[in-house]
């Protein structure tokens, strides 16, 4: 399957069971999103959690209760079938990974789509910056911090961050570029000494893979979409469905459309 | 004299010989500029030097040859009398400091006005950031770096930087704020390890005064308007006139008008 397939065509192939892998690299230029599906009686608290913690949980779309469509993000989308793989959590524990959720769908489920770092990484790469996890072809390194999210109802937890190392001048440029994209985590939240945000060993990741930090480079930290996953695990809703890692919702929205400038 | 006097009134008082001190703090909200006056046969090379090195030498105005007015910057301005104090350089050496240059004026002199950090410091303060040289009421610390300016004709030299320490999150915010003001030095050029830009001891300034760097703070470095002064001293034009340090040209332009966003 060619990488530059259209988002609609990719979703149709996934829906038909012809593709169930990672969406990374497909449909360059288009927004890929993290997906969280919750019962209605948990949805409003999760929405509030997102609004209180916009850098970690930047909402790019939300469906009506029971509606598997998201017309603001994609034409002819069915959230029950159009992701390559889903994870099912019951009471905060993962109980399975499935290729579709048609059997699990209920008319009280609410779908949230959160922005993801693929969008701003594309902008950094387009500007000529060396995005180390891309160069080294690994998952971005992620760390739990000691930064508390602002709680909302049953949702709380500490911020998880992703890290990309840069020379200082490139770190400054990365702040400028990412500031244009508040709906995909926006500007970094920290740079420099990792211990100041509760990371004791930069070579030990909590998620993803370590990357090389070259001499004279600073680690630069962004709020990360794993943050709401941690909050969901702690809140233990009776049912929660998410995308499987790397198997994102591919939308019809262009990354450039998310730029505020 | 009240600090919130109008720029025109301040210039008139200076012109009348009623004030010859520092302009810092006067006319809040209005652009103050560095002034460089050169003979015509040096002016085009200096203009090119400014265009090659915009972060150090951000031009906000330039007069016609022999014209002591700058209508784009100020109404009823006479550059020969409206600065509180002038420095006269002959062959790169300072030979005097005078309250006006009416006697020295020639019809081949060209006036340049360069943006100054007062404008972006005002924006940082308005955002609630702690600008240490303001808090400690001293001149901003400045350092010679090993960064070479791009030469233009007889003008060359190394970049001089100013430094303000910030916690990382405030440094990121400072990048965002200063990016809006490219004509007053713009975004920082470096942050973190001073030795990477050729500064061996952060507590030893080359110009200005040292400031406290608190634990967990990063030094953040901006290209500085002393850079063109160093280039002028090295180029040794037969005549060059500048403002005396701190005795700036106060214009009718609002700092907010310099913001590109």
Q: How far apart are CA B167 and CA B34, in angstroms?
A: 29
> For helices B226-235 and B40-52, what crossing angle results, to 10°?
140
Q: Which fold has domain B119-228?
A: PSTPO5379-like fold (3.30.2040)
Contact across the interface for A168 and B176, Cβ inside 8 Å: no
What are the start-end ranges of the H helices in chain B?
7-15, 40-52, 117-126, 132-135, 168-179, 226-235
Contact across the interface for A172 and B189, Cβ inside 8 Å: yes
Contacts across the A-B interface (CB distance below 8 Å): 51
pLDDT, chain A, mean? 96
Please tell me the CATH code under which domain A118-228 is placed: 3.30.2040.10
Per-residue pLDDT at A261 exceeds 90: no
Contact across the interface for A196 and B172, Cβ inside 8 Å: no
Of B175, B189, B196, the CB nearest to A175: B175
Summarised one tens digit per residue, pLDDT across range A64-117 is 999 999 999 999 999 999 999 999 999 999 999 999 999 999 999 999 999 999
Contact across the interface for B169 and A190, Cβ inside 8 Å: yes
Task: Say whether domain A7-116+236-258 belongs to CATH 3.40.1640.10.
Answer: yes
Between strands B30-39 and B59-62, the pairing is unpaired
Residues in chain B whose Cβ is within 8 Å of chain A: 168-169, 171-172, 175-176, 179, 187-193, 196, 216, 218, 261
Across B208-222, average pLDDT: 97
Summarised one tens digit per residue, pLDDT across range A124-169 is 999 999 999 999 999 999 999 999 999 999 999 999 999 999 999 9
Contact across the interface for A196 and B216, Cβ inside 8 Å: yes
Contact across the interface for A196 and B169, Cβ inside 8 Å: no
Contact across the interface for B171 and A187, Cβ inside 8 Å: no
What are the start and end residues of each CATH 3.30.2040.10 domain in chain A?
118-228
List CB contacts of B133: < 8 A, sequence separation 6 or more. Answer: B139, B140, B141, B164, B208, B209, B211
Min Cα–Cα distance to chain A from B191, Å:
6
pLDDT band at residue A1 under the 50/70/90 scheme: confident
Q: How far apart are CA A63 and CA A67, in angstroms?
A: 6
Per-residue pLDDT at B1 exceeds 90: no
* A8, A84, A97, B144, B188 from A13: Cα distances, Å: 9, 9, 19, 60, 47
Contact across the interface for A192 and B188, Cβ inside 8 Å: no
Write out chain A residues lying below 8 Å of B179, CB-based. Answer: 176, 179
Across B54-60, average pLDDT: 96
Write out chain A residues lying below 8 Å of B169, CB-based. Answer: 189-190
Of A172, A179, A192, the CB nearest to B188: A172
Per-residue pLDDT at B71 exceeds 90: yes
Residue to test with chain B: of A55, A147, A167, A168, most B Cβ within 10 A? A168
Q: Which fold has domain B7-117+235-258?
A: PSTPO5379-like (3.40.1640)
pLDDT at A41: 97
List CB contacts of B72: < 8 A, sequence separation 6 or more. Answer: B61
pLDDT, chain B, mean? 96
Summarised one tens digit per residue, pLDDT across range B80-139 is 999 999 999 999 999 999 999 999 999 999 999 999 999 999 999 999 999 999 999 999
The reply to whether ipTM tops 0.95 is no
Of A169, A189, A191, the CB nearest to B190: A169
Min Cα–Cα distance to chain A from B168, Å:
6
Per-residue pLDDT at A123 exceeds 90: yes
Q: Which residue is listed with tokens 């109980």?
A: A95
Contact across the interface for B168 and A261, Cβ inside 8 Å: no
- The proportion of chain B whose per-residue pLDDT surpasses 70, expressed as a percent, equals 100
Residues forming beta bridges with residue B38, ordered by sequence position: B110
Per-residue pLDDT at A228 exceeds 90: yes
Q: How far apart are CA B74 and CA B253, in angstroms?
A: 7
Per-residue pLDDT at B261 exceeds 90: no
Phi, psi torsion values for A191, nearest 5 degrees? -150, 155
pLDDT at A160: 97
Summarised one tens digit per residue, pLDDT across range A159-205 is 999 999 999 999 999 999 999 999 999 999 999 999 999 999 999 99
pLDDT at A108: 98
Write out chain B residues lying below 8 Å of A193, CB-based. Answer: 168, 216
What are the start and end residues of each CATH 3.40.1640.10 domain in chain B?
7-117+235-258
């Amino acid at each position: 399957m060619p990488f530059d397939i259209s988002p609609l065509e990719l979703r149709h192939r996934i829906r038909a069971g012809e593709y169930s892998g990672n969406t990374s690299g497909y449909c360059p230029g288009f927004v890929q999103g993290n997906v969280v599906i919750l019962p209605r009686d948990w949805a409003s608290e999760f929405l509030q959690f997102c609004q209180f913690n916009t850098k970690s949980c930047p909402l790019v779309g939300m469906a009506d209760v029971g509606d598997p469509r998201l017309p603001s993000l994609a034409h002819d989308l069915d959230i029950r079938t159009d992701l390559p793989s889903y994870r099912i959590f019951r009471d905060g524990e993962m109980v399975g990974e499935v290729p579709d959720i048609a059997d699990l769908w209920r008319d009280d489920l609410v779908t949230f789509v959160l922005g993801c770092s693929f969008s701003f990484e594309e902008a950094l790469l387009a500007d000529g910056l060396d995005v180390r996890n891309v160069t080294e072809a690994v998952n971005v390194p992620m760390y739990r911090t000691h930064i508390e999210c602002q709680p909302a109802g049953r949702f709380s937890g500490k911020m998880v961050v992703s890290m990309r190392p840069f020379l200082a001048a490139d770190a400054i440029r990365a702040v400028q570029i990412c500031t244009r994209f508040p709906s995909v985590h926006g500007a970094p939240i920290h740079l420099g000494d990792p211990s100041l945000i509760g990371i004791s060993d930069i070579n030990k990741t909590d998620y993803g893979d370590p990357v090389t930090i070259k001499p004279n480079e600073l680690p630069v930290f962004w709020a990360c979409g794993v943050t709401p996953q941690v909050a969901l695990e702690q809140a233990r809703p009776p049912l929660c469905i998410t995308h499987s890692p790397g198997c994102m919702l591919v939308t019809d929205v262009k990354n450039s459309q998310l730029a505020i400038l």
